[in-house]
Structure 1
């Protein structure tokens, strides 16, 4: 009779080996890919439907948007307000233009005020007005920004640090105005 013990031992050894091989196989790390890896395509969101967008609404020219916002804040803090008027050069009113006077309009009358103006203008009208002003003694100064026409400092009521009084800046399509040449830098129109 053969002993069952060696068979039982052999069976246990085989079972243990199978268990060990199975556990090692499942714990083994996956090999790192070498070369091209096929990827699963990810679904993409459908393209948004084309919708009509509204065109930006153009602002209307006002005293509250013609000049720099920081300047308006300074004027307001000082108690100043604005008064809007049509834009004239001499006796000619420029359609679409605006002249703004900033001062303490509620206080006593005084000479402390700033004026700013802007208007669209044709080349022909600009050339005619420049010639008229120069003919009246105003001074022409060509610059990269356009043509400055300023009142004669000898007859001006007040001038800035550089000797400029009322000044117009004519560009290709518009004209800016201030009671000083330096003030023209504050005219921030048209926007954009």
Structure 2
């Protein structure tokens, strides 16, 4: 390094040191301890505000439709959601929500998770079930509701029990997931 550049660098370093010491100020002297026995008030540490819990009359979002733990797990590995209208067969369910969770920063693949929810009247539910069964889906009535699952012959992804994409019709609503086991992650409506 040449002398003028060395001197310039030394001057810049000295100015930086002076600026830093000017920002920090001079140390204050510590006051003498008192003999007072009065307790000292200490401000409580601020706590992180929790997200408000959605109410049953609120509209779901992709982040509130499934459990907070699942959302946090997805987000920790770069998986985010995209929202779209919900369809059952050829019919769009007005006010319905369909969420596709995937890593959209990666090249396209067939990996992703689907979760959906909608309010649905009894008549609309029956029409939807009939259309799906006519298309080869399998209907299964249980005490917990009516499950309609895509045919195992055409399912691309299945859970441990062999169920692919599945709708669960219960009183006044329908949920959907890419597998029957995936329905367990849906927690809507909150209550």
TM-score, normalised with respect to structure 1? 0.69
Q: CA deviation at 1:60?
A: 2.7
Is the 2:96–2:118 contact (alpha carbons within 8 Å) kept by the matching residues of 1? Answer: yes
1 CA distance for matches of 2:82 and 2:166? 19
Is the 2:61–2:97 contact (alpha carbons within 8 Å) kept by the matching residues of 1? Answer: yes
2 CA distance for matches of 1:101 and 1:76? 13
Q: CA deviation at 1:58?
A: 4.2
Q: Which residue of 2 aligns with 1:99?
A: 98
Q: 1:135 to 1:74 in 2, by over 3 A?
A: same
Structure showing greater Rg: 1
Is the 2:116–2:176 contact (alpha carbons within 8 Å) kept by the matching residues of 1? Answer: yes
2 CA distance for matches of 1:168 and 1:58? 22
Q: Which residue of 1 aligns with 2:128?
A: 129
Q: Which residue of 2 aligns with 1:118?
A: 117
Q: 1:104 to 1:91 in 2, by over 3 A?
A: same
Say whether residues 1:190 and 2:189 are aligned partners: yes
3-state SS, counterpart of residue 111 of structure 1: coil
Say whether residues 1:153 and 2:152 are aligned partners: yes
1 CA distance for matches of 2:117 and 2:56? 20
Q: CA deviation at 1:150?
A: 0.1
2 CA distance for matches of 1:61 and 1:107? 27
Q: Which residue of 1 aligns with 2:164?
A: 165
Kindly indicate whether structure 1 or structure 2 has the higher relative contact order, using CA contacts under 8 Å at least 6 residues apart.
2
Q: CA deviation at 1:152?
A: 0.7
State the number of aligned residues.
137
2 CA distance for matches of 1:185 and 1:106? 27
1 CA distance for matches of 2:162 and 2:107? 27
**5+ long unaligned stretches in structure 2:** 1-54
Q: Which residue of 2 aligns with 1:23?
A: none
